[in-house]
Amino acid sequence: MANSEQLHVVFGASGALGNAVVRELVAQSMRVRGVTRSGNADVPNGVEMIAADALLPERVRAACDGASVIYNCANAPYTNWPKEFPPIMQGIIDGASAAGAKLVFGDNLYSYGPVDGPLTEDLQNAATGRKGRTRTLMADMLMEAHASGKLKAAIGRGSDFYGPRVMTSAIGDRVIPAALAGKGSQVLGNPDTLHTYTYVPDFARALVVLGERDEALGEIWHVPNAKTITTREMLDIVYELAGHEAKVMAAPKLLLNAISLFNPMVRELKETYYQFDKPFVVDHSKFKRAFGAQVTPHREALTDTIDWYRSRSGA
């Protein structure tokens, strides 16, 4: 089990997931070092912040020095994953190995590709898009390093997440500001199909568990989520909490195809359209059996999310 003398290093401390991991560790009275490219992040008092470009191995190694557990929550531009993510992963693997630290990777579910039925950890990696293949490569790099004895590692996978400080997501800055203003919001795919959403503080809590528990090592784990409901049901709650009637529009695939011709971000979104067009239900029973499952109900989580958005806008 972790103790307050151990140093926990979080790469990507300014991002939504990394920042949530930092805050969870602080809440558990752990020593925390946050790492960002600039050395700045909105973190609680007492967190050591240092600057390190995750693409520079010597800077990464220095950031890892003295760590007992390292959390890889680093991000890269959505349109540049194949180029930047593998070297980031390799640098953090090497840094963790040099420090003799455990490494926990905050991953997503892209590696599986389209799936019929619930998503479980024993699914084959069948992604055909470049982002899914990149995620598969990163996970393989980490698990191979663990198997070779280079370090000890675990992977926690979450679905589309939302919560305080989450901006670029299915339930983020394309939806919540519109709901607060009483305007319509546009979503991908079929809003009436089931879709698992991960509350980012729950994701962070699960990653910390994986960093504490040795039985987590060498394994991939789906982090716990609240009950899977449809995207429309999620947005009904968002609009109700915002004090407005829900106005939800689905973005047709033909429209995405047209916009993608001149918008690189939309072009990237086409790869994961399948996640919103058919049921996308994540099974976290493996994690629950091993460690229990502490989850925040969607209404409570969305209340916190909307409160954070209101605080940003001064509303």
CATH for 136: 3.40.50.720
- Digits of tens for pLDDT over the chain (315 positions)? 456 689 999 999 999 999 999 999 999 999 999 999 999 999 999 999 999 999 999 999 999 999 999 999 999 988 899 999 999 999 999 999 999 999 999 999 999 999 999 999 999 999 999 999 999 999 999 999 999 999 999 999 999 999 999 998 899 998 999 999 999 998 888 999 999 999 999 999 999 999 999 999 999 999 999 999 999 999 999 999 999 999 998 876 766 666 656 666 666 677 888 999 999 999 999 999 999 999 999 999 999 999 999 998 665
Total domains in the fold of the chain: 1
- Environment class of 11 (CB within 10 Å of its CB; exposed 0-12, middle 13-18, buried 19+): buried
CA 1 vs CA 5, 30, 49, 68, 201: distances in Å: 12, 12, 24, 11, 20
98 domain residue, yes or no: yes
Angle between helices 16-27 and 200-212 (to 10 degrees): 60
pTM, entire model: 0.94
12 domain residue, yes or no: yes
265 domain residue, yes or no: no
102 domain residue, yes or no: yes
103 domain residue, yes or no: yes
Question: Which residue range is the domain that position 99 belongs to?
Answer: 7-162+198-225+281-295
300 domain residue, yes or no: no
How far apart (Å, rounded) are the C-alpha atoms in residues 185 and 178? 6
